[in-house]
């Protein structure tokens, strides 16, 4: 089967902070994921060495390397090497409440 994806938004990363393999999960700093369950910003479209530019697929569908088989429609997450795996009972790296969220609708700022 050929590699197919539907690109809605790709994001250029001007300088890779660490080596990144193709089709791996990348964090919000542009580095390949190294902690299972870490928040994912996008999927790398090509490999990059430290300091090289590369692009991420951040919205739409992406071709990902997997760390095992999982059922269609299964919840997924990244493993410690940036591969996509089934989201079994694995602790997520971001603690509940660790990400601040502000809603202008909740504080009445929308007219």
pLDDT on residue 73: 86
CB 55 within 8 A of CB 24: no
Q: Give the model confidence (pLDDT) of 96-107 as tens digits.
A: 656 665 555 656
pTM above 0.85, yes or no: no
CB neighbourhood size of 4 (10 A): 7
Q: Which of 3-12, 45-54, 91-100 has the lowest mean pLDDT?
A: 91-100
DSSP, res 14 = S
Task: Determine what percent of the chain is predicted with pLDDT higher than 70.
Answer: 77
Q: Which band of pLDDT confidence, cut at 50, 70 and 90, is reported for residue 56?
A: very high
Which residues make Cβ contacts (< 8 Å) with residue 1, sequence separation at least 6?
none
63 sits in the region (left: phi over 0; alpha: psi -120 to 50; else beta) called beta
pLDDT on residue 24: 96
The DSSP bridge pattern shows strands 76-78 and 84-86 to be antiparallel
Rounded Cα gap, residues 63 and 56, in angstroms = 11
């Amino acid at each position: 089967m050929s590699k197919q994806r539907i690109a809605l938004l790709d994001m250029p990363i001007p300088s890779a902070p660490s080596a990144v393999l193709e089709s791996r999960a990348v964090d919000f700093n542009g580095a390949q994921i190294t902690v299972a369950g870490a928040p994912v910003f996008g999927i790398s479209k090509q490999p990059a060495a430290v300091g090289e530019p590369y692009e991420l697929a951040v919205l739409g569908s992406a071709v990902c390397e997997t760390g095992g088989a999982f059922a269609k429609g299964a919840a997924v997450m990244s493993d410690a090497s940036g591969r996509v795996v089934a989201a079994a009972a694995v602790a997520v790296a971001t603690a509940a409440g660790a990400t601040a969220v502000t809603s202008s609708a909740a504080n009445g700022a929308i007219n």
